[in-house]
């Protein structure tokens, strides 16, 4: 995996071994250049093919992005409804939808899809996207301009819309000879069997002709792209190691803005930098009702003690002595959660009793926002900063089903211990397990064989696409 000499080279290389393009103004986005100072290079070198495809993508983006000649022409045609023939530039518009962890995963999925299909990705900025993420591509923005003609319409697109691809298939309205100027791809968790045909090669060859694809999804759908013969070879060439796909795409695309970077770096310097070891614990409680819950606290403790991630405490003795000359090791534990209850309990435990190892354990939590507030700027900035901070730890514990945790593990190149989701208010036994890979889980994959036109278990077809640890029907790359 990690070759020592490689990682030394990469440490020195602020452009992450060529993954990032040169030519940005450094001060406009400090995180692009400074992430390397926080102890996190890439796990391994990206393939030279991936690097060349990224540069090619950037060139196309520059050619076709907002307010370029080609963009202006296609937008004009979109307004008038008259198309002069096949256009040089085709687009995927990513519609902002769902929580921030979900959005980061879907944006990476949409970008890879754009790369594979020679399209340009444009991002619906909604209320907060520009305050969270720097521009990833040189010179031309990835944000959809506010005067884009479909902006209002786009937000109302739903499975019942006439231009929804699944609906068009149901109505057999695609037999109609003229190619529509845009189609809506509904790839959210509630999509139906017709919408899922997006993942069939035959449907891709139809979609290929359409200039504008409007995509709404809350799923990391990359695992299923690996099961499509038309993309398989290209994906294998781009990513010889299937485990580092989101690691590379995430580090390529998602650079916190200076505002968010301030939240990350100030916190890191104050609470994490000096410790001998950093442990991240991400708590996401999906049960309804008001926490903190005792069974969740018990689960956190039984997982971290059993797996030796945290030292046990000695309730019988008042102090632990160390052999003379031995220094006490310090362990910084950053917990993230919407509620403060869990970290308070754990912190108290380490205050009230000594650790059996003599280690000094400090427990802290950046925020406790109480509930999800998707449309609020500071709330999302904190959520993004916390995902990023978790990615900077050495060892990570995450909560099953949570995309917030998937983002942290992928960016950080960490294989976390996953806390299984509790059922009916009880902590599962075992409480957690080590992840097979650092890839996110696709929560709502199709189970369909496009060729045979029948249902199939898509989690057993190839060795690198498996069912997830935390969700038995999900799919992930390993």
Interaction site with ligand GDP (CB under 6 A): 98-102, 284, 336-338, 367, 369, 372, 379-380, 382-383, 386, 402-404
CA distances to 6, 46, 277 from 241, rounded to whole Å, are: 16, 9, 28
Of the two residues 62 and 379, which places its CB atom closer to ligand GDP in the complex? Answer: 379
CB atoms within 10 A of CB 374: 17
Closest to ligand GDP by CB, 14 or 344? 344
Secondary structure of 225-289 in the HEC alphabet?
A: HCCCHHHHHHHHHHCCCHHHHHHHHHHHHCCECHHHHHHHHHHHHHHHCCCCEEEEEECCCCCCC
Instruction: Tell me whether residue 116 or residue 471 sits nearer to ligand GDP (CB atom).
Output: 471
Phi, psi of 3 (to 5 degrees): -95, 130
What is the rounded CA–CA span in Å between residue 187 and residue 199?
A: 10
For residue 206, the minimal CB distance to ligand GDP (Å) is: 31
- CB-nearer residue toward ligand GDP: 74 or 102: 102
Taking the complex as a whole, the smallest distance from the CB of residue 380 to ligand GDP amounts, in Å, to 6
Straight-line distance from the first to the last Cα atom of the chain, in angstroms, rounded to the nearest whole number: 14
Give min distance, CB of 334 to ligand GDP, in A.
10
Helix (H) or strand (E) holding 454: strand 454-455
Cβ–Cβ under 8 Å, residues 414 and 395 = yes
Minimum distance from residue 403 beta carbon to ligand GDP (Å) = 3
Q: How far is the CB of 103 from ligand GDP (least distance, A)?
A: 7
Query: In the bound complex, what is the minimum distance in angstroms from residue 243's beta carbon to ligand GDP?
Result: 21
Report the distance separating Cα 54 and Cα 326, nearest Å. 50
Q: Closest approach of Cβ 355 to ligand GDP, in Å?
A: 25
Q: Hey, which residues does 182 pair with through a beta bridge?
A: 212
Nearer to ligand GDP, 51 or 363 (CB): 363
Query: At closest approach, how far in Å is the CB of 270 from ligand GDP?
Result: 17
User: Which residue, 99 or 428, is less far from ligand GDP as judged by CB?
Assistant: 99
Shortest Å, Cβ 351 to ligand GDP: 22
Q: Which is nearer to ligand GDP, 142 or 384 (CB)?
A: 384
* Beta pairing partners, 330: 360
8 A C-beta contact, residue 353 and residue 319: no
The 10 Å CB-count burial string (b at 16+, else e) for 433-468 is bebbbbbbbbbbbbebebeeeeeeebbeeeebbbbb
- Residue 28, strand partner residues: none
Closest residue to ligand GDP using C-beta atoms? 99
How many of the other CB atoms lie within 10 Å of CB of 109? 25
The smaller minimum CB distance to ligand GDP, of residues 284 and 347, is found at 284
Residue whose CB is less far from ligand GDP, 347 or 382: 382
433 contact partners, CB below 8 Å, separation of at least 6: 417, 418, 420, 469
């Amino acid at each position: 995996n990690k070759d020592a000499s490689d990682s030394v080279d990469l440490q020195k290389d602020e452009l992450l071994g060529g993954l990032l393009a040169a030519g940005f103004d450094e001060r406009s986005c400090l995180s692009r250049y400074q992430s390397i100072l926080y102890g996190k290079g890439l796990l391994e070198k990206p393939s030279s093919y991936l690097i060349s495809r990224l540069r090619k993508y950037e060139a196309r983006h520059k050619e076709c992005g907002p307010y370029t000649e080609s963009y202006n022409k296609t937008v004009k045609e979109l307004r008038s409804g008259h198309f002069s023939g096949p256009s040089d530039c085709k687009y995927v518009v990513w519609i902002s939808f769902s929580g921030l962890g979900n959005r980061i995963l879907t944006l990476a999925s949409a970008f890879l899809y754009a790369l594979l299909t020679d399209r340009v990705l444009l991002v619906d900025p909604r209320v907060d996207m520009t305050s969270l993420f720097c521009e990833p591509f040189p010179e031309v923005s990835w944000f959809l301009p506010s005067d884009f003609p479909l902006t209002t319409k786009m937000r109302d697109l739903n499975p019942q819309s006439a231009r929804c691809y699944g609906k068009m298939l149901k109505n057999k309205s695609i037999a109609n000879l003229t190619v529509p100027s845009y189609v809506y791809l509904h790839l959210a968790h509630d999509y139906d069997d017709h919408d899922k045909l997006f993942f069939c090669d035959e449907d891709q060859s139809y979609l290929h002709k359409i200039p504008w694809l409007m995509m709404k999804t809350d799923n990391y759908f990359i695992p299923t792209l690996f099961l499509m013969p038309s993309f398989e070879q290209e994906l294998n060439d781009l990513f010889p190691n299937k485990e580092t796909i989101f690691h590379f795409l995430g580090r390529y695309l998602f650079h916190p803005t200076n505002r968010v970077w301030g939240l990350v770096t100030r916190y890191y310097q104050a609470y994490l930098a000096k410790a001998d070891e950093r442990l991240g614990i991400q708590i996401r409680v999906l049960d309804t009702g008001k926490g903190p819950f005792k069974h969740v606290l018990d689960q956190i403790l039984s997982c971290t003690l059993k797996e030796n991630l945290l030292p046990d405490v000695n309730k019988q003795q008042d102090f632990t002595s160390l052999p003379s000359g031995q220094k006490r090791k310090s362990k910084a534990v950053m917990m993230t959660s919407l509620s403060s209850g869990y970290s308070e309990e754990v912190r108290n435990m380490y205050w009230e009793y000594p650790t059996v190892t003599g280690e000094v354990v400090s427990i802290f939590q950046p925020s406790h926002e109480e509930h999800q507030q998707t449309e609020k700027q500071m709330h999302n900035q904190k959520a993004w900063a916390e995902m990023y901070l978790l990615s900077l730890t050495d060892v990570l514990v995450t909560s099953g089903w949570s995309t917030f945790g998937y983002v942290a593990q992928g960016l950080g190149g960490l294989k976390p211990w996953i806390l299984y989701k509790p059922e009916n208010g009880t902590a599962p036994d075992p409480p957690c397990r080590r992840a097979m890979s650092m890839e996110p889980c696709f929560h709502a994959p199709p189970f369909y064989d496009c060729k045979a036109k029948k249902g199939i278990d898509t989690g057993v077809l190839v060795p690198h696409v498996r069912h997830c640890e935390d969700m038995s029907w999900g799919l992930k790359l390993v």
